[in-house]
A and B are shown apart, each in its own frame.
Chain A
Amino acid sequence: MDGLKRFLDTFFDLPLIGSTLAQLLTEGLLNTLLLAVLASLIGLVVGIGWPPD
Chain B
Amino acid sequence: MSRLRVVRLPCRVYVDILRGLPHILTVYLIGQGLPLAGLTIFGTWTYGYAGLAIGLMEGAYMAEIFRSGFQSVDSGIVEAARSLGLSHLRTLRLIVVPIGVRRILPALTGQFILVVKSTALVYLLGLAAGQREMFALAQDSAVNNASLAPLVAAGLLYLAITVPLTYVVNAWDRRMREPQSPRRKIRPVRTAEALA
Contacts and interface: CB of A to CB of B under 8 A. Distances in A.
A39 B150 CA distance: 25
B148 interface: yes
B63 A39 contact: no
B137 A28 contact: yes
A1 interface: no
A39 B157 contact: no
Given A17-B152, A24-B154, A28-B132, A40 B137 contact: no
A2 B54 CA distance: 42
Interface in A13-53: 13-14, 16-18, 20-21, 23-25, 27-29, 31-36, 38-48, 50-53
A51 B58 contact: no
A25 B94 CA distance: 43
A51 to B, nearest CB: 4
A42 B50 CA distance: 11
Interface of B: 1, 8, 11-12, 14-15, 47-48, 50-52, 54-67, 70, 111-112, 115-116, 118-119, 122, 131-138, 141, 145, 147-150, 152-154, 156-157, 161
22 contacts: A20-B138, A20-B154, A28-B137, A31-B132, A35-B51, A35-B119, A36-B119, A38-B48, A39-B119, A40-B112, A42-B52, A43-B61, A43-B115, A45-B59, A46-B59, A48-B63, A50-B59, A51-B63, A51-B67, A52-B8, A52-B15, A53-B12
